[in-house]
Amino acid sequence: MRHNKKFNHLGRKSAHRKAMLSNMANSLIEHKRIHTTLAKAKALRMYLEPLITRSKEDTMHNRRMVFRKLKNKYAVTELFRNISQKIGDRPGGYLRIIKLGNRLGDNAEMALIEFVDYNTTYTKEEKVKKTRRRRRKKKVEQAPAENQTQQNTEEQAGENENSGTENSEK
């Protein structure tokens, strides 16, 4: 009977499946997003999310338990230092799977799997508002130039009027 055997075997023996998921988890931790098939992405999410939950509490025991699955000390260090800091307040759901369509060769469903907090498209980061000083400077620079031309024309008009009255008085 097949009771309590829910996870996807991915058409591989257990040793091959564990090695593949470990390598994919290492690649995801290193690159923050990877392209893979939808079935592998879902299996990777089930494999990696408990490890990310363990990384929130940085103890020697948790590091050893994560290293047991990942078998890469650089990935473990990255997970416990950088990723756990960014994901620390999130209560789960650390990975996002985005469906990309079907692959040309064998029509397999492809997906993009990524860390939720590392995507700048979907996360709400406060953008620095640009000041509008440049526009104001241009307007301020143009305004005195316009004022000077208006003053020059008024002075010239005044001189012309004065010169006309002086000539008539003579």
| DSSP of 99-133 | EEEE-TTT-PEEEEEEEGGG-TTTS-PPPPPPP-H
Q: Is residue 114 part of a domain?
A: yes
Q: Is residue 29 part of a domain?
A: yes
Q: Are residues 138 and 90 in the same domain?
A: no
CA 1 vs CA 5, 8, 12, 15, 37: distances in Å: 10, 16, 20, 22, 29
Buried b (16+ CB within 10 A) or exposed e, 139-158: eeeeeeeeeeeeeeeeeeee
- Place 39 in a pLDDT band, splitting at 50, 70 and 90: very high
Residue 57 pLDDT more than 70?
A: yes
Q: Are residues 114 and 134 in the same domain?
A: no
For the stretch 115-144, pLDDT in tens is 998 887 765 656 666 666 665 555 555 555
Q: What confidence score (pLDDT) does residue 102 get?
A: 97
Q: Is residue 138 part of a domain?
A: yes
Q: Are residues 30 and 109 in the same domain?
A: yes
To the question of pTM greater than 0.75 for the whole model, the response is: no
Which has more confidence, 150 or 21?
A: 21
Which has more confidence, 88 or 163?
A: 88
Q: Are residues 66 and 107 in the same domain?
A: yes
Q: Span 138-164, mean pLDDT?
A: 60
Q: What confidence score (pLDDT) does residue 121 get?
A: 77
Residue 35 pLDDT more than 70?
A: yes
Range of the domain at 159: 129-170
